[in-house]
Chains A and B, each alone.
Chain A
C-alpha cells in the first residue's frame, strides 16, 4: 500500500500520456478478448489497471534476434507498446532504453534493489552455457551471470519467444554454444513460456497485461504456456481443416490444388503438431497468417523445430541416422533385410533339418502301417 501512494497507476500513466478514457476502455476490452475472458472481466481489468501501481519490468536480451520485441511493439493496440512497454514500466531493455553503458546498468541495479521481489523479469533469447558462457556478454558479464542476478529478485519470469522458451535456432544441432532455455537454468521462480518465433504481439500483450493487472500468472498448461493461447494446435483452428478431413491436399506448390486452397499437410505443414494461436489471432493486426498466405506452418513455437525433419515434406526424421534417413526409409530397409534374413533362415532350416524331418516322417509312416483301423 505504501508503494501505491508513491507510484503512478497504469490508468494515470495512460491518461497522462494523452489517451482518453475511451481509448483505455477499448484497450482493456481488446485484452480481455485476447485472454479469452468473459465480459465481466473487462471491468476487473479496468479496475485493476486503475488501482494497481505500475510494476517495474526488466527486459533482458541474450542470444536472440529481437524479433520478439519487434512483434510486441507492433501489437494491435498502441497503448501496449506506448504505455506498458515504452514509457511506463520498462526500467531496462537494451533495445529501447535511452540510457546506455554505465547509466543503464546503474538504472537496472537500482530497480533490482528498490523493487526486490516485485519486478517482472522478461527474457528474450537463450543463454549460452558452453565455454563458461563467453558467447554472450553484456556490460562485460556473461548472460548466465546476468540472468542469475536478475532472476534472484524477480517476482516472476516471462520467457519470450522460442529462444527463451525452447532454445530455437541457436540450439539447433550441433548447438555450438550450448544455448539453453531459461526454465532449464532457473528452477526456483515461476516461469511463463511464450514460445513462437516470434510470439504473436497480441499474445505477448495479453500475457503481460494479465500479469500486471491481476498480479498473478495466467492459467498455464503442463509446459508452462498460457492456456489462453497455446491450448489448441494451429491445425485445430485452421480454416483449411475441412480439406484435411476430406483428404484433399496440395501435392506441390504449383499445382491446381494449391490454387484451390487445399490443405498443406503433404507439403510439410506442421500445424498438426504446433500449439499456437495463429489461426485465431493471426498476424500483422489480423491480416493473415502463413497458411492463409499459402505456406504451411513451420512449427516455430514447438521445441526443437529446426531439427524436426524437412520443412516442405511430411517426414519422420530419425535422429542419429543422417540427413537422408527418415523413419519410413529406415523401416522399409530394415523390413526388407529382415525378410531376406528370414528367407535365408528358412532355406537353411530346410537343409539342416532335412535328415531329422525325414526320419520323423518315416516313423510316422511306420506308425500308419501299424495302426489297425
Chain B
C-alpha cells in the first residue's frame, strides 16, 4: 500500500463550531437544571425562606440557558442558508448525489461492522455529515424545536415580554400545562439518548477513519484524500497529456 496523500478541508466554519459548543453547553445546563426542577433535592435548611433561593436560582439558570438555546437555534437555521456547503440544509436531507452509496457504506461497515475488504473506499466516505448522521441531526433539530416550543410555552403564561408570549398557543394544543410538561420532560430523555450515541459515534469515526472527526469541531478542519480534490483531477489530466504528447527528440534520433 503506497503513501496516501491527505489534504485539509475547512468543513466547519467558525459560526458552526460556535453554535455547536454553545448548544452543547446550553443543553447540558438545561438537562441538569431541568432534572432538578422536575425532582428537587431535599435541602437541609433551617433558615427562613427569604434567605434561600435555590429553586428560584435553578429555574433562573434554566431560563437563561433556554434563551441561549433559542438564539443559537435560530442562528443555526439562518446559517443553513448562507453557510458553506457542509452547513447547508441540503445536507440534512437524506437524498442527493452519491448519498445512496455513502448511506450503504455507513450501514454496512459502521453500524453492522462488516470488515472492509476494499483497499480504497474513500469515495464512499462523506466529508461533512454522513447520510445517517445528517438524518439524525435533522431529527435532533426537531427535538430541540419541541423543547423550545414546550419550554417557552410553559414559560409564556408568566412572562410579560412579547417574545415568550409568542409561544402561548402551545399549551392549549397539548391539553394544558400537564400535557406540555409531559412532552417537555419526555423529549429531554430523547435528547439524552441522542447525546450518548452522538458522542460515541464521533469517537468511533475518529479512531477508525483517522480523519480528525473530534478535533474538527474545534479547528474546523477535517482531512480528505487528495484524489477527491479538483487539483488532483487537473494534475492527473496534465500528466496524461504529457504522456500522450509525442516526444520529438526521440523521433529524430
Residues of A within 8 A of B (CB): 222-223, 231, 233, 236, 242-249, 251, 265-266, 270, 272-275, 299, 302-305, 308, 314, 316-318, 327-328, 330-331, 334-335, 338-339, 342, 345-346, 348-349, 352-353, 355-357, 359-360, 363, 367, 370
Query: In chain B, residues 111-150, which have Cβ atoms closer than 8 Å to a Cβ of chain A?
Result: 113-116
Q: Sort chain B's interface into a size bin.
A: 35 or more
Docked Cα-Cα span, A189 to B204, in Å, equals 61
Contact A251 B114 (CB under 8 A): no
Which partner residue on chain A sits nearest B35 by CB separation?
Answer: A328
Q: Per-position contact with A for B195-212: 1 when CB-CB < 8 Å, else 0?
A: 011001000100110100
Give chain A residues whose Cβ lies under 8 Å from the Cβ of B42: 249, 251, 266
Give chain A residues whose Cβ lies under 8 Å from the Cβ of B15: none
Contact A331 B189 (CB under 8 A): yes
Give chain B residues whose Cβ lies under 8 Å from the Cβ of A245: 49, 53, 55-56
Give chain A residues whose Cβ lies under 8 Å from the Cβ of B38: 314, 316, 328
Residue B95 is within 8 A (CB to CB) of chain A in the complex: no
10 interchain pairs (CB within 8 A)? A246-B52, A247-B41, A247-B56, A248-B49, A273-B176, A275-B176, A304-B178, A314-B38, A338-B196, A346-B200
Docked Cα-Cα span, A9 to B3, in Å, equals 101
Give chain B residues whose Cβ lies under 8 Å from the Cβ of A334: 189, 193
Closest 7 CB pairs of A and B: A247-B54, A331-B189, A273-B177, A245-B56, A247-B55, A246-B52, A246-B49
Which partner residue on chain A sits nearest B56 by CB separation?
Answer: A245
Residue B43 is within 8 A (CB to CB) of chain A in the complex: yes
Give chain A residues whose Cβ lies under 8 Å from the Cβ of B39: 266, 314, 328
Which partner residue on chain A sits nearest B203 by CB separation?
Answer: A346
Contact flag A353-B115 (CB < 8 Å), given A233-B177, A299-B178, A303-B175? yes
Residue B162 is within 8 A (CB to CB) of chain A in the complex: no
Contact A316 B186 (CB under 8 A): yes
Given A303-B179, A308-B182, output 12 extra A-B contacts at Cβ < 8 Å.
A246-B43, A246-B52, A246-B54, A247-B55, A249-B43, A266-B40, A270-B178, A275-B157, A314-B39, A335-B189, A356-B115, A360-B210
Which partner residue on chain B sits nearest A307 by CB separation?
Answer: B178
Query: In chain B, residues 30-65, which have Cβ atoms closer than 8 Å to a Cβ of chain A?
Result: 38-43, 45, 49-56, 58
In the assembled complex, how far is the CB of residue A152 from the closest CB belonging to chain B, in whole angstroms?
27
Residue B172 is within 8 A (CB to CB) of chain A in the complex: yes
Give chain A residues whose Cβ lies under 8 Å from the Cβ of B177: 233, 272-275, 302
In the assembled complex, how far is the CB of residue A159 from the closest CB belonging to chain B, in whole angstroms?
15
Residue B169 is within 8 A (CB to CB) of chain A in the complex: yes
Give chain B residues whose Cβ lies under 8 Å from the Cβ of A318: 182, 186
Q: Per-position contact with A for B209-226: 1 when CB-CB < 8 Å, else 0?
A: 010000000000000000
Contact B196 A342 (CB under 8 A): yes
Give chain A residues whose Cβ lies under 8 Å from the Cβ of B91: none
In the assembled complex, how far is the CB of residue A337 from the closest CB belonging to chain B, in whole angstroms?
10
In the assembled complex, how far is the CB of residue A265 from the closest CB belonging to chain B, in whole angstroms?
7
Contact B182 A302 (CB under 8 A): no
In the assembled complex, how far is the CB of residue A338 from the closest CB belonging to chain B, in whole angstroms?
5
Contact B189 A355 (CB under 8 A): no
Residue B168 is within 8 A (CB to CB) of chain A in the complex: yes
Give chain A residues whose Cβ lies under 8 Å from the Cβ of B193: 331, 334-335, 338
Docked Cα-Cα span, A115 to B158, in Å, equals 42
Which partner residue on chain A sits nearest B186 by CB separation?
Answer: A327
Contact A316 B176 (CB under 8 A): no
Contact B56 A246 (CB under 8 A): yes
Residue B252 is within 8 A (CB to CB) of chain A in the complex: no
Among B41, B53, B177, chain A packs the most CB atoms within 10 A around the CB of B177
Give chain B residues whose Cβ lies under 8 Å from the Cβ of A330: 189
Contact A346 B204 (CB under 8 A): yes
Give chain A residues whose Cβ lies under 8 Å from the Cβ of B204: 345-346, 349
Q: Per-position contact with A for B160-192: 1 when CB-CB < 8 Å, else 0?
A: 000000001100100111110110011011001
Docked Cα-Cα span, A363 to B50, in Å, equals 68
Give chain A residues whose Cβ lies under 8 Å from the Cβ of B40: 247, 249, 265-266
Docked Cα-Cα span, A63 to B200, in Å, equals 55
Which partner residue on chain B sits nearest A333 by CB separation?
Answer: B189
